[in-house]
Structure formats: C-alpha cells, structure tokens
Amino acid sequence: MKYPAIEINLSKIRRNTEIVVNICKNYGIDVVGVTKVSNGSVDLAKAYIEGGVRILGDSRIENLKAYESLPVRKMLIRIPMLSEAEDVVRYADISLNSEIEVIRALSREAEKIGKVHEIILMIDVGDLREGIYYENEVFETVEEILKLKGVKLTGIGTNLTCFGAIIPSRENLGRLVDIKDKIERKFNISIEVISGGNSSSLCLIQKDEMPKGINQLRIGTALILGLIEVTWTRIAGTYIDAFKLIAEIVEIKRKPSKPIGEVAMDAFRNVPVFEDEGEMIRAICAIGKQDCDPNFMEPVDKRIRILGSSSDHLILDITKCKDDYKVGDTISFVLDYVAILRCMTSNHINKYAVEKGKVAYAVEEGK
Ligand SMILES: *Cc1c(COP(=O)(O)O)cnc(C)c1O
C-alpha cells in the first residue's frame, strides 16, 4: 500500500446500503444511491448496486460517465449547466432541473440522438438552494415542459438541509405532494416520482411522519456513514467506518505544547491560540489540508489527539501512546463526510478497496 491511503470497505458499504434500501422499501420509497463523495469510484457504485440500489445519482457528469457500463439508471443531481446539455442526455437517464431554457436544450439534444430524457422538476420548499420557489412559476414551467418531445416530466423533487439547513417536515414535503396532485389535475397527466430530498429526509421515517406520496429519496451520507445528520442519529446495524484514512508518520519529537516567540498568522491566515500543557510527544503525518480536513477526522487510536494541520503536515499529540509508534508507522483515521470528499478528490491520496477475504486493490476512478 502507498501512503497516504484511503481504504473503502466495500462489504460495509454494501451492508449500509441493504439496510437503508430495506427501511425505505417498507415506506414505498426507492433509493437513488448518491455517489458524489467518491469521485466516480466504480467499485463504490457496484457496492451500492449489490446493496439494492437501482438508480445512481451524482452531481458531476464525468462521474456518471465512469458508471456508463453499470446496469442501472443514472441521475444527474446537480441542475445541469446549459453548456453540458449534450453530455447530460448521453450519460444520464434522468436529471434534476429548474430552468426551462436548460430543459429545452436537453430536449433538443435528446431528440438528436433519438432518446427521451427524464426530468425531475425541482421545487424549492424553503431551503433556498435549487428549484422553483413553490409559490412561483411551477405550473407555467410544467406547461412548457409538456410541449417538448425530447424530455419526459417523470417527477417533481426538492432538496432540503443543504443551504438553508431547513429540516424536512410533514409540512414542507407535504407541499410537494400537494403540488404533484395539482399538476396531475390541471394537466391531466400522471407524475410517477416525488423525490423528497436527501439523507436528512430519513428523519421523517424515524418519526413516522413521511407524507404519503413521497416515493424516492436521493441518499448519500446514510449509505456512506449510516448517519442521519439532521437528527445526529445512526441507523441501527450500519457502519460509520467504511472509509478509513491511513497516513505515515514522518517525525516524532518531544516538544513544548505552546509555540515559542511572537505570534503572527498561520499558513491559513488564522491567528492560532495554544494552551501551555507542558511538554508532549508530537508526531507529524505526511498528509495535510490539501488532502483532508482535520476537523472532520478522528484517530482510530483514541489515545491520539489531532492538534492541527498545515497544507502538507498533520500534527498529532501521541503523548499517551508510550512507545507504540515510530517513524515509518501509520496512523488510521475514521472520516466524516467532508473529509471523505476531500480525500477522494485529492490526487495525492491512494485509494484502495478492501473486502472480506480479498487483498486490497486500487479502486477504479472517474476522470
Ligand atoms: C448531495 C445531494 C444529495 C445526497 O445528500 P446526502 O445528504 O449525502 O444524502 C441528494 N440530492 C442532491 C440534489 C444533492 O446535491
């Protein structure tokens, strides 16, 4: 193994996926497996599929392109750029949309290659990221979409707890169900899908308050970490440590805990504050802020404390570890979502898949 390395335990991802897919199935909800944290890892996508996912969702078209040969449908979950319409209809079967200009472009491109591209029209019910604000031009937009030949209005959807940090509720997701009913009556069509948000919407299943009619969720975090962030709860039986970062120690020294001399700004323009805790044994690992984020990772060895990091150095307090570590040894970290995203998109981190009974192998990535 080359370091720094991130290890993806595919058995754990598969198990997390099975659990979440089954919970949702009991509520008549399909899971779109969101892969955007993995930089187009085909191995992770396959683990989702083996866990029961039938649609893969990603925010980047290059990642969906990497999944081209996988036998499931693909959804682009970031509203498309006008300039990428051609690739969107080529590599995605479905996309989330809010701009009629873009939808027209998708329709034109789809017609050119003899496809019908599916649209989920995004409606903003309060989080104020993407989507048509629910009181505004929803019906006018539907009317325009229905005139187009290259696209099909498969569903409506929303996203919550991303920008405005708004918690999914019976009220805000209920709005989506109301709008679906109104569209169906007004235009005499049927809308197959109501895509009711991301992992945070699972909190409504926890409270048994999921509005009837929501039949799809787009889920990343709950598959990766088994975590529902909005209630800060774990889903029973899931693993939080399917991803592990392994970094190599390049220095171990006894030093004071408080820097010596006059304080200016650190490498990231912050003025650091340090307590004097006396002498400590400090280790440096060869990894830094450009690859990871010290605020979103935790050493597996609970005796170790992260002191901070600069671009390329992670500084640890290993005073409590006696002589257990030497230069050249490695230290493992469990990662939160943000840290996984950073690691997986860093060119400097080596990515390996591990599985029960198999030797670790390098994962196949997108672009
Ligand atoms: C990232 C994203 C998701 C998945 O979010 P999680 O909280 O990781 O489940 C779903 N939908 C959209 C539009 C997203 O951008």
Q: How far apart are CA 297 and CA 294, in angstroms?
A: 6
Q: How far is the CA of 198 from the centre of ligand 1 (A)?
A: 5
- Is it the case that residue 365 has pLDDT exceeding 80? no
Q: Which tens digit of pLDDT belongs to each residue from 174-211? A: 999 999 999 999 999 999 999 999 999 999 999 999 99
CATH code given to domain 10-234: 3.20.20.10
Instruction: Pull the structure tokens for residue 61.
Output: 């078209």
* Mean pLDDT, residues 286-314 taken together: 96
Q: Ligand 1 pocket, 151 CB below 6 A?
A: no
Q: Is the pLDDT of residue 357 over 80?
A: no
Peptide bond connecting 4 to the previous residue in cis, omega within 30 degrees of 0: yes
Quote the CA–CA distance of 283 and 245 in Å, as a whole number: 16
Please state the domain extents for the chain: 10-234, 243-335
Residues 238-296: tens digit of each pLDDT: 999 999 999 999 999 999 999 999 988 888 888 888 899 999 999 999 999 999 999 99
pLDDT of 367: 64
Reply yes or no on whether 36 is catalytic: yes
Q: How far is the CA of 184 from the centre of ligand 1 (A)?
A: 26
Q: Which amino acid is at 240?
A: I
Asked whether the predicted pLDDT for residue 366 surpasses 80, the reply is: no
Q: Measure the CA–CA gap between 19 and 31, rounded to whole angstroms.
A: 11
- Express each pLDDT in 128-156 by its tens digit: 999 999 999 999 999 999 999 999 999 99
Q: Counting atoms of ligand 1 from 1, which one is nearest the CA of 219?
A: 9
User: Does the beta carbon of 123 lie inside 6 Å of ligand 1?
Assistant: no
Per the residue annotation, which of 2, 12, 36, 112 is the catalytic one?
A: 36
Residue 266 has a pLDDT of 87
Domain 243-335 adopts which CATH fold? Lyase, Ornithine Decarboxylase; Chain A, domain 1 (2.40.37)
User: Is any ligand 1 atom within 6 A of the Cβ of residue 219?
Assistant: yes
Please state the atom number of ligand 1 nearest to the C-alpha of residue 337. 8
| Mean pLDDT, the chain, whole residue set | 96
**Model confidence over 46-65: pLDDT tens digits?**
999 999 999 999 999 999 99
